[in-house]
Structure 1
Amino acid sequence: MEDIEDLLAGGGGGAPPGFRLPVATAVGVNLKHKKKNITFQDSLKDYTTAKIPGTQSDSEYMAGQLSAFGYHLSENQDEADLWLINTCTVKSPSQSAMDTLIAKCKSAKKPLVVAGCVPQGSRDLKELDGVSIVGVQQIDRVVEVVEETLKGHEVRLLTRKTLPALDLPKVRKNKFVEILPINVGCLGACTYCKTKHARGHLGSYTVDSLVGRVRTVIADGVKEIWLSSEDTGAYGRDIGVNLPILLNSLVAELPSDGSTMLRIGMTNPPYILEHLKEIAEILSHPCVYSFLHVPVQSGSDGILSAMNREYTVGEFRKVVDTLIELVPGMQIATDIICGFPGETDEDFEETVNLIKDYKLSQVHISQFYPRPGTPAARMKKVSSNVVKKRSRELTTIFESFTPYVGMEGKIERIWITDIATDGSHLVGHTKGYIQVLVLGPESLLGTSAIVKITSIGRWSVFGDVIEVLTQNITSRENRGDKYSECSNPNKICCSNEAETCACELTSSCGQTEEKIFSVSRDDQIPGEYISQNLIGWLLRKRKNNSQRTIKKELVLESDEKEGTSSRANEWVLVDKALLVGMLTSFLTIIAVFLYLWSRDFHSYN
């Protein structure tokens, strides 16, 4: 086995194989000689809704560097010259998924690189024998590891004392969303978690470096910035600043027209308690989503103590109550672990009561799984049947909530950044981060719009686009139109009803994700939007035409009120094509009929 640092020793003339070139130079180095296919595939199927913000950001940075060096990123495992699996795990099922991928790759005789929390926190796993490894703080050197692995070397790169740069090349899975890591590691020592093992002690990026990154991504056209961290609330404690200082600096960089929104990442209760009012003020800002993920894990103080969570249920309640009171339309997500060692029926009942009290619209419910090397793995376990029963019971209770009731007919401002999995709808979010599905052309991606909520579902609501906001907030306010309250920086346009979007939870390493990256010779620009499927595309186009007709009617009505003139019956291209086709068919039928009649007539005579 070789360490990459050993590969640097005694190199001949020129740059040795593992030499790390500056990014500006690296982009063009030997590009025409590159290279191979690398497959970029998520073993948990949906990269964009992954629960681990840190892992998503790492994946995008690695993809960017590989792409900048001329590698082709592919989801086709068979055509790949190398597989790269990015992992983040605190749970056994997720590590099992990784093990399956590794076995599949080895059986296919493909070169393999494994990155992320699993190899960093459990480098002695037998499954990792013969596999190259990139540590969580070494993602800026992924190209070196890939190239050495393709040469047949086994490389392990795990130790680092400085944070990777924020300005590395990056391929965003969603070009409108920037996942911005503000710190790595954590200050906690939860007895069930391996985050500390994998990502180490807290390491925060400076305020200036993060402000600079925000300026850059806004100039790139990003419309949502997700702050990513194992624990956002702990930010800055290692460098003498705190989260409110950072957030105020970042908010000052956001466009005043509300075209780019900030989403604050997961924060544990201990580190937000002392800044509650300041955080509430920031969450009330019109360019910040009124949404926060605050994991509680259990409703029992006894279990929280066994977990070493460093807060009480009362303190969690204080966080939730204060934010709901001070932030209009505030929405909070949380996590629950069922069946932690020592959990009694009484402990579980306290958790049930907590969830019933708040009826939070987003609750991620998981079963306890012991992680090797953690204190909880040595504790006396609750029967697996009991754990499953409690998980099912709590899930049933949570799914009985109807948080969207009463939203029908409401007017909301949303930010549209994605295509729904059905291939027909676009996905937007309200100020409170309620997921709204609308019909419209893909050109609406990256825009903000005013919608009317037409119907509700369990996990999202549906709306009709009334107006696409293309003008500056100030000019809209000066116009004094009926939507100005949604744009006024001193007012919040959002529903006071509860929201839900359980599939959009973003937590720390408490969840798991494994990805495979593939590399290929052909040049490709990753991150471009492609229609999900032909059927969805056709459905969306046809529905879009109907929507455009409705929108034109609204515009005509508005223009008439203002004394302007418009063409009242403008047809869209598809309608014209259909009409021409119908007329052509009709004339063809008549011609055939006349021909047959003429032939029969002459035969009769």
Structure 2
Amino acid sequence: MDEGMMTQDERRMGFGPEEGTQRGKGLYYVHTLGCQMNVHDSERIAGVLQAQGYRPASPEQVRARNVDLMVLNTCAVRENASKRMYGTIGRWARLKQENPTAQIAVGGCMAQKDRDRIARQAPWVDAVFGTKNIGDLPVLLERARRDRRSQVQVSDRLEAFPSDLPTVRASRSSAWVSVSVGCNNTCTFCIVPQVRGRERDRPIADVLAEVESCVAAGAREVTLLGQNVNSYGYSMGDRQAFPKLLRACGDIEGLDRVRFTSPHPAAFTDEVIAAMAETPNVMHQLHMPLQSGSDRILRAMRRSYRSKRFLSILDKVRSAMPDARITTDIIVGFPGESEEDFQETLDVVERSRFSSAFTFEYSPRPGTPAAAMDQVPKQVVQERFERLLALQERITQEELDAFVGRDVEVMITARQGRHDERTHRVTGRERGGVLVHVGVPQGLPVPAVGDLVTCTVTGVGKHYLTADPDPMRGQAYDIRG
């Protein structure tokens, strides 16, 4: 999954009210590491806790460590996420020293993978729960309080979809909706199948019911989530289920925007492209993980496509949707990668014209086949990473520069934008997913969260656009609530 696509607020998932909120069963805080799937799981964690009487801590209470429960929802995709997890729970140990009745819980992918190690190395952690055990968290906390020792509950089998649990949405205007859990692929670098299990799909009626519920609660935008979102339905024997789902979302009144992440090239069919192009509220935004442009490395990764197939998909998408914005993931320095292999990746990136790319230096994950392969020297990986980053930064800037003078539709988000005395900017994303800081012309209304603003782009920053329109010069500024 593409962690890099999210803002810091989307990853942090601090559910904070005003300072005067009653404590209820206790004040809690959820800190999220990782991808959109983890962010959505944190919404479930918050929902389960609040259903049991816990109350969210305000940001001020978190900073003052005036909190009764700290929950860390972890990622296991890269080594850095593992280091961040152990570093975070190490810092949180001070909370227990200052307040022995406070509790700490660790969940998510690292908890699924390192359950025993966490309990052994961090005995101050009260509860360790797996990706399939979110609903068990309140019981584990009660047991830890009663027995005065760590509780571990990690199931390898999915008994019920997390979507059946209560949810506290981080945003009123945008919502995540899971269509499936798990992954059936066997990529040699990836640990997700081990920690999330095999792919299981939700019935389409359940997915649509949740989407409709989100819209009824005020959401104007929904992002469909799955480890391989476009293979939705395959486990149910329906290979047309995902394009059917996209088209069905187009019939939901009040749903202005539909996105999805992350698809897999192997299952990206012409029917999916047609559904994207022909359904008005499906955004022409695509995050398509490349991982490598070398066919030899793709084989070593056990990725079930080759560069020619990948590029043909992009050509078809752009033929059907010329305005499509395509982003990707790329791993640099996969075991055995030669300079020739890396040059092939550069060639594919140049040809693909990605709007942005989330590039990662390969890090071995214990238990994956790639961890036992011959590793590329660190200094070589770093040098290649910098070359790839420079290439993609140039392309990204060129793609953003093309927006200047164009009118874009921006959905204002829950996060405050960059303000200054002249423009009083607010922030949102245009239809392709680009972050836009919108200045409010003097004397005109300030858009509310969830409003759609059509505005003229007047400037470009690094990875974002600015729109400070002047209606007197014919530039657009129009709010649709």
Gap change, CA 1:200 and 1:37, over 3 Å in 2? same
Q: Does 1:196 align with 2:193?
A: yes
**Partners of 1:261 and 1:167 in 2: CA distance:** 24
| Aligned residue in 1 for 2:36 | 53
Other structure's SS at 1:403 match: helix
1:225 aligns with 2:236: no
Q: 1:35 and 2:39 equivalent? A: no
Q: CA deviation at 1:462?
A: 1.7
State the secondary structure of the residue aligned to 2:209: helix
User: Conserved in 2, the CA contact under 8 Å of 1:115 and 1:136?
Assistant: yes
Task: Please state whether the residue corresponding to 1:41 is helix, strand or coil.
Answer: strand
| Identity percentage of aligned residues | 28
CA distance in 1, matches of 2:274, 2:233: 19
1:341 counterpart SS class: coil
SS in structure 2 at match of 1:246? helix
SS in 2 for 1:248: helix
Counterpart amino acid of 1:452? T
1:342 aligns with 2:341: no
The equivalent of 1:428 in structure 2 is: 428
1:158 corresponds, among 138, 154, 161, to 154
Aligned residue identity for 1:455: G
The alignment of Structure 1 onto Structure 2 pairs a total of residues equal to 427
In the TM superposition, residue 284 of structure 1 has moved relative to its aligned partner by 4.3
- Corresponding position of 1:265: 261
Of residues 164, 167, 179 in structure 2, which corresponds to 1:170? 167
Unaligned runs of 5+ in 1: 1-31, 45-50, 471-605
TM-score, L = length of structure 1: 0.67
Higher relative contact order (CA 8 A, sep 6+): 1
- Residue 277 of structure 2 contacts residue 320 of structure 2 at CA under 8 Å; is this kept in 1? no
The answer to whether the 8 Å contact 1:299/1:354 transfers is: yes
Paired residue type of 1:229: G
Alignment deviations for residues 191-249 of structure 1 (CA, whole Å, 9 cap, x no partner): 11110110000011110101111111100001210111111022111112231122222
Amino acid at match of 2:176: I
Which residue of 463, 467, 475 corresponds with 2:478?
467
> Deviation per CA, 1:277-332, whole angstroms, max 9, x where unpaired?
44333244221110011101001001111111111111111111110111131111
Contact 1:113–1:149 under 8 Å retained in 2: no
CA contact (8 A) 2:30 2:42 kept: no
Partner of 2:111: 119
Secondary structure at 1:332 match in 2: strand
Name the residue aligned to 2:406.
410
Aligned counterpart, 2:143: 148
Cα deviations by residue, 1:471-518 (Å, 9 ceiling, x for unpaired): xxxxxxxxxxxxxxxxxxxxxxxxxxxxxxxxxxxxxxxxxxxxxxxx
Q: 2-side partners of 1:83 and 1:457: how far apart?
A: 36
2: CA distance, partners of 1:377 / 1:124:
21
Deviations 1:38-72 (A, max 9, x none): 22335x6xxxxxx6111011001111221232212
Correspondence list, 1:549-588, <5 A: none
**Matched residue SS, 1:436:** strand
* 1:295 alignment partner AA: P
TM-align CA RMSD: 2.1
Question: In the alignment, which residue of structure 2 is the partner of 1:73?
Answer: 56
* Structure 2 residues without counterparts, runs of 5 or longer: 1-21, 97-101, 470-475
Which residue does the alignment assign to 1:135? 130
The residue that corresponds to 1:324 in the other structure is: 318
- Could you give the per-residue CA deviations for residues 399-423 of structure 1, whole angstroms, max 9, x where no partner exists? 1221122322222223222334535
What code does the residue aligned with 1:438 have? V
* Cα distance between partner residues in 2 of 1:283 and 1:434: 19
Match of 2:457 among 453, 458, 465: 453
Does the 8 Å contact 1:284/1:328 carry over to 2? no
Tell me if 1:104 matches 2:91.
yes
Partner residue in 1 for 2:19: none
Distance 1:429 1:283, change over 3 A: farther
SS of aligned partner of 1:238: helix
The residue that corresponds to 1:588 in the other structure is none
Secondary structure of residue in 2 paired with 1:418? coil
* Equivalent AA in structure 2 for residue 444 of structure 1: A
Distance 1:193 1:212 in 2: 32
Inter-partner Cα distance in structure 2 for 1:232 and 1:262 = 13
Letter in 2 for 1:35: K
> For the Cα contact (< 8 Å) 2:23–2:55, is it kept in 1?
no
Change (3 A) 1:262 1:448: same
Partners of 1:111 and 1:223 lie apart in 2 by 36
User: 1:137-178 CA distances to partner (integer Å, 9 max, x unpaired)?
Assistant: 221232222333333342222224323352532222222111
- 8 Å contact from structure 2 (residues 297, 337) kept in 1: yes
Instruction: Flag the 1:73–1:358 CA change in 2: closer, same or farther, 3 A.
Output: same
The two structures have a TM-score, normalised by structure 2, of: 0.84
CA distance in structure 2 between the partners assigned to 1:262 and 1:407 by the alignment: 22
Q: Is the 8 A contact 1:269 1:294 kept in 2?
A: yes
How far residue 383 of structure 1 moved from its aligned partner, in angstroms, is 0.3
CA contact (8 A) 2:333 2:381 kept: yes
